[in-house]
Chain A
């Protein structure tokens, strides 16, 4: 494993995760670099989504889930999976974009403003500004600026997903999590989202789960290959896809299993 020399944003240390008595993550160690894209790849059921959902404590929504170890968020150096930390505080700082676009049954404007509203912000000037900035950030502003009050569910799938990205950006997150964000989209919408991810890393740290290896190769700076709940290999994306050091990684990226 190469040492990361630049600035750290988050670091998982000896992370284990259990669904009831089933251990889904085994001794995960991974560093997430600031303003870079880190991709998690691996076959179905390898634990990549489970790992991603540890970063915003989504597992706390369901009973009988248990974390062990630490995920340190920099620069504060707090352990975000510690039971003393309120999961809502964590989610306030780490946003997520889901596999399936999940806009709320509200207007485009209210979807983007949602995160600010739950934080108690209701001043129109602030909301207007944040909505426009986030929609521009998600490359959706030009398409929707004239119909901000129409229902979000009337947008196309790709637009809905970019709206969800805008919604996640509006609260100025420290890390943006993407859980297979293009798996429900067509190729054109997919390449738009990929371009967007590359652009967004100038402003925000990104972790993306993908089952599409070409996507990981195109958008990420670092890639972790996971298998059966463990990280088999973690390195610069170039290295993983050109000269993986593990045979298992090589077999996966060349399509021999998975």
Chain B
């Protein structure tokens, strides 16, 4: 009798401990949202929402501050677009090769090497962009400034390739062999089968991979902070220096902006915009990934 009671108590303690651990991540996420909202609310009491979302000058640290978020949004989207131009085609083509063409042994060798790309610290990529790729590009494009959007964009694209290719490949591998056989039996070649049957069949998975890549690109910080130039610049010219939402947050967080000031609150407003952008793409990705399970 006594043993039963003590066992029950022990079970209860363990269960509570596990529950608290699980709860902590939910709690942290929620508190981030609450703090972001609260501090942004304080920010919007001093700056009009219209100015924030339509202004094209972002100079919150100047004597006469301007709070137009558009240069940071455009910088973020520009670098994201450049990186996707690298990551999506290269990632998809690698996935097609690995899933449809590569012999088993070769795939088992290439896949881990490709995934190793994801293990390189982002700070290394940043310096690689600044000290290797930018000088290289300057030989072709003499007008390119030392800090620019194109070089970190390309490097970020390379960084994202393994995410895109690995998720796309999983989606293509999940297409059952009898669907492919149906295509081969009609006299289709490997290439026709891959593009006309396998990719459409794996569409929702590939789309989820793309969305994941986009979220990753929007949220990436270190590469752009190092190589893009920390200059809020409302432009679509990839040769010029730009600043992204993430690198602005780094810049201000590392400085000595006093707590509670309007400059301090800009971090949270920028963070809020960033959070909403990545949330938007993650929700789309989540929805698409749910659909892939229903496909077969």
Instruction: Give the B-binding residues of A (Cβ under 8 A).
Output: 56, 58, 61, 63, 88-89, 91-92, 95-96, 98-100, 102-106, 114-115, 117-119, 164, 167-168, 171
Contact = CB atoms under 8 A, between A and B. Distances in A.
B188 A118 contact: yes
A228 to B, nearest CB: 25
Given A104-B200, A118-B192, A95 B181 contact: no
B183 A58 contact: no
Given A104-B201, A114-B186, 9 more contacts: A58-B181, A91-B184, A91-B187, A104-B182, A106-B200, A114-B188, A115-B187, A167-B182, A168-B186
Interface in B196-236: 196-197, 200-201, 203
A176 B295 CA distance: 29
Contacts of A100: 178
Given A104-B196, A105-B201, A105-B203, A118 B179 contact: no
Nearest to A95: B185
Nearest to A63: B103
B194 to A, nearest CB: 12
Contact of B185 (A63, A96, A103, A105): A96
A63 B102 CA distance: 12
Interface string B163-203: 00000000000000011111111111100100011001101
Interface of B: 103, 178-189, 192, 196-197, 200-201, 203, 295
8 contacts: A58-B181, A58-B185, A61-B181, A91-B187, A99-B178, A100-B178, A105-B200, A118-B188
A104 B178 CA distance: 10
A118 B186 contact: yes
B178 A102 contact: yes
Nearest to A170: B186
Given A104-B201, A118-B192, A56 B185 contact: yes
B184 A61 contact: yes
Given A104-B179, A105-B201, A91 B196 contact: no
A102 B189 CA distance: 18
B185 A91 contact: yes
B174 to A, nearest CB: 13
B175 to A, nearest CB: 9
Given A104-B196, A104-B200, A105-B200, A115 B178 contact: no
Given A104-B200, A105-B203, A106-B200, A164 B182 contact: yes
B49 to A, nearest CB: 44
Given A104-B179, A105-B200, A58 B187 contact: no
A58 B184 contact: yes
Contacts of B183: 104, 114, 118
A186 to B, nearest CB: 20
Contacts of A96: 185
Contact of B182 (A63, A92, A102): A102
A99 B185 CA distance: 13
B181 A88 contact: no
A25 B196 CA distance: 34
A168 to B, nearest CB: 8
Contact of B187 (A99, A103, A105, A171): A171
A77 to B, nearest CB: 21
B180 to A, nearest CB: 8
A157 B181 CA distance: 18
B225 to A, nearest CB: 42
A114 B196 contact: yes
B70 to A, nearest CB: 40
